[in-house]
Structure 1
């Protein structure tokens, strides 16, 4: 069951995760402070920086900030 009002992680924690090259959808939800359902919708958007490996969606963390900046003001 999803937790409501989950706090986003700190910038320092996010930077620590950048040492990893990818993250899973549940980690993306935590990084952005959104629900898992919303994170799952994001990874299905065309152009989102994600690799599909089998059934797993792996978000490319080095491209995530760039994608977010390109989509400022968009309703997703």
Structure 2
């Protein structure tokens, strides 16, 4: 291989690496912004509905645990 080919391949590799690094950095910054938005909206006071949904989910989980404990104890439901 002559030197012109080596310089072209090396330049392409450096350019490709720089593009990938820049794309990754942009994506990471946007992901951080998304997580900050999620944290600020999660800590905001809510109006009844999310708490109600959380209580329903908690009751469902408790019911599933009760059923699993009954199965483990050998009790017929």
Task: Give the alignment's TM-score, normalised by structure 2.
Answer: 0.18
Task: Give the alignment's TM-score, normalised by structure 1.
Answer: 0.19
Identify which of structures 1 and 2 has the higher relative contact order when contacts are C-alpha pairs closer than 8 Å and 6+ apart: 1
